[in-house]
Amino acid sequence: MEEVGGVLFSIGPLEVTGRVVTMWVMIAVLAVLCRLATRKLKDVPGPLQNLAELAVEKLRGFFAGNLSAENARRYLPVMSTFFIFILVSNYSGLLPGAGTLFAVPTSGLSVTAGLAIAAFCFTQYAGIRARGWKRYLKSFLLPFFVMLPLNLIEQIVHPFSLALRLYGNIYGEETVTEQLGHIFPLVLPLVMQGLSLLFGFIQAMVFTMLLASYVEEATE
């Protein structure tokens, strides 16, 4: 990785890279926004609370189409966290200084792989919680017990594809924007950044939609 994504300092045995610092800043900003939006809840909402309510409503509608009613109610917070985190992460690549002053989190395989591993653990947890240990493990033998290796491979490949899809898209966007900036600065990157607006959102949505369908499949 380039120097801006390198290791900055170490806390004990863990190395803190530029991407981790960017994620900390993101978390701080989002936490402050959430606190401000819910500080004094009114029946006739102010602008920030209105925005928060709009976000929750849209997310609820989005997941209602993808998950069963019980799963949607139970797992809305986790899924929305994934979605908002990936969305803000992708859009941080549009801020001035991205790539040179700070590292975009999702443009590194480490971050997307971490997200994919978290998604994998969450899927298994959801499946075990909904069906219990034995029934969930037995479901790998359905519909026909010879399918066991295929089902296992499928479970392993899903997080790989999630991680690589997100990493490839965002890293590709950042790299193309940079190269276009070398060719014709200030004007040509605008084209790619416009596409980044669209594709950043789509990638966040696809990650979350796929996670929802995996959870739905695991909880039957």
Site residues for another protein per CB under 8 A: 65-66, 161, 164-165, 167-169, 171-172, 175, 202-203, 205-206, 209-210
Phi, psi of 108 (to 5 degrees): -120, 145
Largest pairwise CA distance in the chain: 60
Q: Which is nearer to another protein, 38 or 175 (CB)?
A: 175
Output the smallest distance, CB 113 to another protein, in A.
13
The helix/strand/coil state of 144 is coil
Shortest CB 122 distance to another protein, Å: 19
Burial of 140 (0-12, 13-18, 19+ CB in 10 A): middle
Q: Which is nearer to another protein, 46 or 61 (CB)?
A: 61
**Measured from the CB atom, is 100 or 175 closer to another protein?**
175
Q: How far is the CB of 73 from another protein (least distance, A)?
A: 20
Question: What is the nearest approach in angstroms of another protein to the Cβ of residue 144?
Answer: 25
The least distance separating another protein from the CB of residue 138, rounded to whole angstroms, comes to: 28
Please, are residues 86 and 199 in contact by the beta-carbon 8 Å criterion?
no
Q: What is the DSSP string of 155-175?
A: HHHHHHHHHHHHHHHHHHHHH
Buried b (16+ CB within 10 A) or exposed e, 101-137: ebbbbbbbbebbbebbeebbebbeebbbebbeeeebe
Nearest to 48 by CA among 32, 59, 63, 61: 32
Q: How far is the CB of 135 from another protein (least distance, A)?
A: 28
Nearest residue (CB) to another protein, 188 versus 205: 205
Q: What gap in Å lies between CA 62 and CA 20, rounded to an integer?
A: 29
Question: What secondary structure letter does DSSP report for 102?
Answer: B
136/207 with CB nearer another protein: 207
Closer Cβ to another protein, 55 or 205, answer by number: 205
